[in-house]
């Protein structure tokens, strides 16, 4: 039998002073232990109280900030309130740790300022000014990014603040802000982008995808029952004696009354009993057995074609047409689609990859990662102008190739274009195979006046943004009444199985032709 050894108590009292370190992040240990301000025990307790208050969205008590040698509790609490730091740090422990780490670094600057000849009051004032200026800029960055991208907490974890500030000061960022305002005018387009992906089932049903479901329905069916009907006074089974007027079944004792020649009155008694049907008789009953079919309520299984629940919340693959024909309002809408895809990916922590395509071999790929580099790449793209030709085959091949990676197997493809393109037969067939074998869904956004053969061949559904000209400053309405002019007037132009079978390719006619 083994007994547990008592824990050593030699250093227990000294270790109790370091207990708050267990609740602080490891990256704060060094700064909190060697900071030049205050004493160790009140410093650790004050930092922990300050950090917990920020995470809970409360302003730290001045006592929690009173551990420095200089009287800084009140000024620091006032600065926290002025910058509204608790609101930014609420439920964001990583950001609160960054704030505490920055506070420790700036507090160490007090000694440096004094070594350069400043008095204690001057050093404290410079520290407060620098700390406030640093976090005033960071709060401005967080506010602007939150306004554009929504909730993007992961972006502020170990963020490169200098790079983010440089991005927000660029001219291209103004295009991002303008595009963000444009998205507010396109709520249906934003909802369409949020519904892409095939990771989780949603509550909505998808009419294009149905399956047979067994359903129990109320019905009636004939059910065989064995019915026995008693038939009285029919020779069958003698079950007793009773009074009746049946002469054939009367008891012998009644016959004696009728046949007695000495007492005529007995014959009169018999006739009276016969008239009154009170003769003692054998009781005979028979039973008629038969099978009767009755309609009974029952539950009957039946196969119904029901729409499946729509899948959503998965990776996003976006192909954006950047050809010269997209200039003006179409370019603004295309940029809005990319920005909304990025916002959705940042907010819901989804992967997003953008293929910007022009002419042959003119493909620019954007990996919209949740970091400062991803924000810079997106800002640089939104600040550019569109030009060049149109070749859809390259981006489609690259997008299909991405589906082989486990990260992108549940991705949907979004194509934003004016439809002025055409895929080759091989590429169109590859898209169809990806749809059938891997479940790929292709959503098109038509930023033009009519669907084209090329768009109809690769997209499962096309959302028509009819008033796209309005977003380029023009108030001209679309000159066509329907996007489906090709299907209406040229139905044989589409690459359907019947049309493929009837198509004759030069040089490949069979011998029968």
Per-residue pLDDT in tens (0 to 9) along the chain, 513 residues: 456 655 555 556 666 777 888 888 888 888 888 888 888 888 888 888 888 888 888 888 877 788 887 788 888 888 888 888 888 888 888 888 888 888 889 888 888 888 888 888 888 889 889 888 888 888 887 777 777 777 666 666 656 677 777 777 777 777 778 888 887 888 888 888 888 877 666 555 555 555 556 667 777 778 888 887 777 766 777 788 888 888 888 888 888 887 777 777 888 888 888 888 888 888 887 777 778 788 888 777 776 666 666 666 788 898 988 888 787 888 888 888 888 888 888 887 888 888 888 877 778 888 877 777 778 888 888 777 767 677 888 889 989 998 888 888 888 898 988 888 888 888 888 988 888 888 888 888 888 888 888 888 888 888 888 887 777 766 667 766 677 776 676 666 665 666 666 666 555 554 443
Has this prediction a pTM greater than 0.85?
A: no
Query: Quick check: 291 and 224 in contact, CB under 8 A?
Result: yes
Kind and range of the H or E element at 102? helix 93-115
Tell me, what's the pLDDT at 305? Answer: 65
Show the DSSP H helices in 116-228 as ranges. Answer: 120-149, 161-168, 171-183, 187-194
Q: Give Cβ neighbours of residue 149 (< 8 Å, ≥ 6 apart).
A: 155, 342, 343, 346, 347
Cβ atoms of 441 and 472 closer than 8 Å: no
What is the model's pLDDT at position 505? Answer: 56
User: How far is the C-alpha of 450 from the C-alpha of 337, rounded, in Å?
Assistant: 19
At CA 20, angle to CA 58 and CA 110, rounded to 5? 75
Q: Which two tokens stand for residue 490?
A: 């040229």
Q: What are the DSSP calls for 457-508, one per residue?
A: HH-SEEEE-TTGGGGGT--PPPS-S-S-HHHHH-GGGS--HHHHHH---TT-
Would you give the end-to-end CA distance of the chain in angstroms? 95
Q: From CA 437, how far away is CA 392, in angstroms rounded?
A: 22
Res 332: pLDDT? 84
Are the beta carbons of 430 and 465 closer than 8 angstroms? Answer: no
Q: What residues does 205 pair with on adjacent strands?
A: 309
pLDDT at 513: 39
DSSP 413: E
In order of 79, 421, 446, 452, 481, the CA distances from 485 in angstroms are 63, 16, 13, 9, 9
pLDDT at 308: 62
């Amino acid at each position: 039998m083994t007994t547990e050894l008592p824990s050593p108590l030699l250093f227990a009292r000294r270790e109790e002073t370091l207990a708050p370190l267990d609740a602080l992040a490891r990256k704060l240990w060094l700064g909190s232990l060697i900071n030049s301000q205050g004493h160790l025990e009140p410093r650790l307790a004050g930092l922990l109280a300050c950090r917990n208050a920020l995470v809970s969205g409360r302003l730290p008590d001045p006592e929690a900030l009173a551990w420095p040698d200089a009287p800084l509790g009140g000024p620091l609490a006032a600065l926290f309130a002025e910058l509204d730091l608790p609101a930014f740090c609420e439920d964001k422990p990583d950001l609160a740790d960054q704030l505490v780490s920055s506070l420790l670094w700036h507090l160490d600057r007090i000694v440096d300022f004094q070594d350069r000849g400043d008095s204690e009051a001057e050093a404290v004032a410079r520290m407060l000014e620098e700390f406030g200026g640093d976090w005033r800029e960071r709060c401005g960055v967080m506010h602007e990014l939150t306004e554009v991208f929504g909730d993007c907490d992961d972006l502020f974890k170990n963020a490169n603040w200098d790079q983010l500030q440089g991005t927000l000061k660029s001219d291209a960022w103004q295009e991002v802000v303008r595009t963000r305002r444009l998205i507010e005018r396109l709520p249906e387009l934003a909802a369409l982008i949020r519904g892409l992906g095939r990771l989780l089932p949603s509550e909505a049903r998808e009419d294009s995808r149905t399956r047979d479901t067994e359903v129990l329905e109320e019905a009636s069916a004939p059910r065989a029952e064995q019915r026995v009907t008693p038939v009285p006074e029919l020779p069958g089974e003698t079950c007793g004696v009773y009074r009746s007027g049946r002469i054939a079944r009367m008891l012998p004792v009644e016959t004696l009354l009728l046949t007695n020649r000495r007492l005529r009155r007995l014959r009169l008694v018999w006739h009276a009993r016969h008239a009154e049907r009170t003769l003692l008789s054998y009781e005979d009953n028979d039973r008629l057995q038969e099978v009767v079919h009755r309609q009974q309520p029952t539950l009957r299984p039946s196969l119904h074609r029901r729409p499946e629940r729509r899948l959503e919340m998965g990776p996003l693959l976006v192909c954006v047409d950047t050809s010269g024909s997209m200039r003006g309002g179409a370019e603004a809408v295309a940029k809005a689609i990319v920005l909304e895809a990025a916002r959705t990916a940042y907010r819901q922590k989804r992967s997003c990859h953008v293929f910007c395509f022009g002419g042959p071999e003119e493909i620019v790929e954007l990996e919209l990662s949740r970091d400062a580099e991803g924000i810079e790449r997106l800002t640089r793209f939104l600040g550019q102008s569109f030009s060049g030709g149109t070749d859809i085959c390259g981006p489609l091949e690259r997008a299909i190739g991405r589906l082989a990676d486990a990260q992108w197997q549940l991705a949907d493809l979004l194509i934003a274009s004016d439809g002025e393109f055409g895929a080759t037969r091989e590429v169109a067939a590859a898209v169809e195979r990806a749809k059938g074998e891997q479940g790929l869904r292709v959503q098109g956004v038509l930023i033009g006046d009519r669907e084209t053969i090329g768009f109809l061949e690769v997209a499962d559904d096309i959302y028509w943004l009819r008033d796209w000209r309005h977003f380029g400053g023009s108030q001209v309405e679309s000159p066509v009444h329907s996007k489906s002019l090709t299907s209406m007037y040229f139905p044989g132009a589409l690459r359907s199985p019947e049309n493929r079978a009837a198509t004759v390719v030069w040089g490949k006619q069979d011998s029968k032709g």
